[in-house]
């Protein structure tokens, strides 16, 4: 008990530094002027490194090792905490606080360079930073005594413990086999979809009102969360009762922010539903990214793009956007938000083609880590894959390989977006067996859905690896089958195939 009390005390101390670090990080993404990013980044790195020093000190490590030898005597939450900390220590024990600070500075420099490169549509301004990121990843792997032989699998394990590139190759291979020919059928169907209203001008204040309405509708707690604008929409869990979501407004595309908000709200609902005991044992940040993306994409797509959801919010949309949506029916909005239209930008991609954006990024990351692709050739490889899979080619680097911020902090994250689709399609089928999902959406009873999500999807997520988690929810192993059936049924009906 003394060891556990000491451990929890040290984690509280580290979390206070992390809390401050996250506030600065959020500020960097939302309000910090371009010339202030470097100084803010250095301060953020300093605070984050203070937390790292605490959780990698000899006394902390010795405490975790001692508790790990007594796992069977600990209650569930403490047992999970010690097991996860022990794994992290084994992975990072050879990374000194000084080296960790160096890595953090590399990432912050990469972020600043990415911002400039994206603004100027010039990959060469980001390429040196991406090369440093690659070298950093290999250095971390070399220092990890428990690293596996496949370099990329070590990166995957950070975001999705237990996942391998061999499994991803299998899942993504099934997707390509099914979706590529289906995409050609959809293109040939030539279904008329009205789009003239989608670029009508809307004001920022209208979009803000709509954002608040969407968050309220989905069950976001404004007493424990807030929102802001950022270049790249994201969600940040700052503290126990401090969840922050962001979006980006476009005056000629209200649907961009709409689905960013719904997506980020999914992340927020997941975080805010962390059980109190998990908070007490500092287990609030152990959800895998696949688990997290499953929830955000469940709300964004399975709920947010459903005919019932559009019907439920239609009248309010008309109230907020009377000019932009004048003469536009529910069916026309539903058809548009589900239109299959191969495009260049992942965050603007339709539900159907989105998976290809992830597959492309995964394949490029893996080729970089395998030494099959030079950093300088990334734009060329990117364009080639987009042309091959989606039939579109970026006209500049901003619309191509510079569009996402994720590579400023390393590789291995992107596949979790697609894994999220596989997971949520599986538990969506389970949910439909137990509650009337369509009626709950149509009648605005999101609390019914959120309650089911808490009991089945959310409450144990921090305590279980993804493979055990999805099996506990559905009594089945991870598969792409449910997702592919969902896509084939939905879009086969929409396009009359």
Torsion, Cα of 288, 455, 241, 411 (10° steps): 10
**pLDDT for the residue 282:** 96
Domain's final residue, options 147, 179, 202: 147
Same domain, 383 and 281: yes
Same domain, 183 and 49: no
Confirm whether 109 is a catalytic residue: no
Q: Does residue 249 form part of some domain? A: yes
The tokens describing 13, both together, are 């101390």
**pLDDT for the residue 497:** 85
Same domain, 184 and 53: no
Q: Does residue 157 form part of some domain? A: no
299-318: average pLDDT = 97
Check whether 267 is labelled as a binding-site residue. Answer: yes
Same domain, 344 and 478: yes
- Give Dmax over CA atoms of the chain in angstroms: 69
Task: Name residues whose C-beta falls within 8 Å of residue 251's C-beta, 6 or more positions apart in sequence.
Answer: 201, 202, 203, 204
Q: Does residue 154 form part of some domain? A: no
Whether residue 435 is predicted with pLDDT greater than 90 in this model: the reply is yes
Same domain, 202 and 123: no
Same domain, 429 and 321: yes
Residue 410: left (phi > 0), alpha (psi -120 to 50), or beta? left
- Beta strand pairing status for 242-247 and 235-239? antiparallel
The span from the CA of 95 to the CA of 97, in Å, is 7
Same domain, 143 and 171: no
Cβ neighbours around 281 below 10 Å, total: 23
In terms of pLDDT, which residue wins out, 136 or 1? 136
Q: pLDDT tier at 60 (50, 70, 90 boundaries)?
A: very high
Q: Does residue 332 form part of some domain? A: yes
**pLDDT for the residue 355:** 95
Domain's final residue, options 147, 180, 202: 147
**Tens of pLDDT along 321-373?**
999 999 999 999 999 999 999 999 998 889 999 999 999 999 999 999 999 99
**Tens of pLDDT along 239-259?**
999 999 999 999 999 999 999
Residue 478: strand, helix, or coil: coil
Q: pLDDT tier at 40 (50, 70, 90 boundaries)?
A: very high
The span from the CA of 459 to the CA of 447, in Å, is 16
Say how many domains are in the chain.
Answer: 2
Same domain, 67 and 195: no
Whether residue 268 is predicted with pLDDT greater than 90 in this model: the reply is yes
Q: Does residue 156 form part of some domain? A: no
Q: Does residue 159 form part of some domain? A: no
- Asked if 211 and 256 count as a contact pair (C-beta separation under 8 A), the reply is no
pTM: 0.90
CATH number, domain of 284, equals 1.10.1370.30
Same domain, 71 and 31: yes
**pLDDT for the residue 92:** 87
**pLDDT for the residue 55:** 92
Residue 225: strand, helix, or coil: strand
The tokens describing 163, both together, are 């996942």
**pLDDT for the residue 1:** 79
- Asked if 317 and 217 count as a contact pair (C-beta separation under 8 A), the reply is no
Whether residue 96 is predicted with pLDDT greater than 90 in this model: the reply is no
DSSP class of 454: I
**pLDDT for the residue 356:** 96
Q: Does residue 206 form part of some domain? A: yes
Domain's final residue, options 147, 182, 204: 147
- Asked if 189 and 492 count as a contact pair (C-beta separation under 8 A), the reply is no
Q: pLDDT tier at 100 (50, 70, 90 boundaries)?
A: confident
80-103: average pLDDT = 91
**Tens of pLDDT along 174-192?**
999 999 999 999 999 989 9
436-449: average pLDDT = 96
Domain range for residue 480?
A: 165-494
The span from the CA of 230 to the CA of 249, in Å, is 9
**pLDDT for the residue 456:** 98
**Candidate list 18, 264, 300, 332, residue with the active-site label:** 264
- Asked if 82 and 74 count as a contact pair (C-beta separation under 8 A), the reply is yes
Same domain, 208 and 87: no
Same domain, 322 and 391: yes
Q: Does residue 158 form part of some domain? A: no
Q: Which residues pair with 229 in a beta bridge?
A: 247
Report the mean per-residue pLDDT for the chain.
Answer: 95
Please state, for a pLDDT cut of 70, what percent of the chain lies above it: 100
The span from the CA of 476 to the CA of 399, in Å, is 39
Same domain, 371 and 268: yes
Check whether 68 is labelled as a binding-site residue. Answer: no
């Amino acid at each position: 008990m003394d060891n556990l009390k000491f451990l929890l005390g040290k984690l509280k101390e580290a979390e206070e530094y992390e809390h401050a670090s996250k506030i600065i990080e959020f500020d960097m993404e939302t309000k910090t002027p371009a010339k202030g990013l470097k100084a803010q980044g250095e301060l953020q790195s300093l605070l984050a490194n203070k937390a790292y020093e605490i959780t990698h000190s000899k006394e902390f490590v010795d405490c975790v090792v001692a508790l790990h030898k007594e796992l069977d005597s600990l209650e569930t939450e403490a047992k999970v905490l010690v097991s996860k900390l022990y794994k992290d220590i084994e992975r990072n024990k050879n990374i000194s606080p000084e080296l960790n600070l160096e890595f953090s500075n590399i990432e912050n420099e990469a972020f600043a360079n990415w911002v400039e490169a994206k603004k100027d549509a010039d990959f060469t301004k980001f390429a040196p930073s991406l090369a440093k990121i690659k070298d950093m990843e290999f250095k971390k792997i070399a220092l990890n005594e428990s690293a596996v032989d496949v370099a990329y699998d070590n990166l995957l394990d950070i975001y999705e413990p237990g996942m391998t590139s061999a499994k991803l190759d299998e899942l993504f291979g099934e997707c390509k086999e099914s979706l590529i020919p289906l995409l050609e059928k959809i293109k040939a169907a030539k279904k008329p979809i009205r789009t003239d209203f989608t670029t009508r001008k809307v004001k920022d204040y209208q979009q803000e009102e709509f954002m608040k309405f969407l968050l309220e509708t989905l069950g976001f707690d404004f007493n424990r969360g807030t929102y802001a604008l950022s270049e790249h929409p994201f969600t940040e869990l700052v503290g126990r009762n401090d969840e922050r979501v962001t979006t980006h407004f476009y005056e000629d595309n209200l649907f961009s922010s709409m689905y960013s908000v719904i997506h980020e709200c999914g992340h927020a609902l997941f975080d805010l539903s962390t059980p109190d005991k998990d908070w007490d044992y500092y287990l609030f940040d152990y959800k895998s990214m696949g688990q997290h993306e499953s929830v955000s994409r469940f709300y964004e797509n399975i709920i947010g793009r459903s005919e019932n959801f559009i019907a439920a919010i239609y009248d309010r949309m008309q109230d907020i956007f009377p000019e932009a949506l004048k003469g536009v029916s529910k069916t026309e909005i539903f058809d548009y938000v589900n239109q299959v239209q191969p495009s260049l930008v992942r965050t603007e991609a339709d539900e159907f083609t989105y998976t290809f954006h992830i597959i492309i990024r995964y394949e490029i990351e893996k080729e970089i880590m395998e030494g099959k692709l030079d950093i300088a050739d990334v734009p060329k490889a990117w364009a080639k894959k987009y042309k091959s899979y989606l039939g579109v080619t970026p006209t500049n680097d901003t619309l191509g390989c510079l569009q996402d911020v994720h590579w400023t902090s390393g590789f291995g994250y992107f596949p979790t977006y697609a894994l999220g689709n596989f997971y949520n399609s599986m538990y969506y089928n389970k949910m439909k067996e137990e509650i009337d999902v369509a009626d709950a959406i149509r009648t605005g009873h999101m609390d019914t859905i959120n309650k089911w999500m808490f009991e089945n999807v959310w409450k144990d997520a921090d305590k279980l690896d993804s493979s055990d988690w999805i099996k506990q929810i559905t009594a089945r192993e991870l598969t792409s089958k449910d997702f592919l059936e969902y896509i084939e049924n939905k879009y086969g009906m929409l396009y009359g195939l």
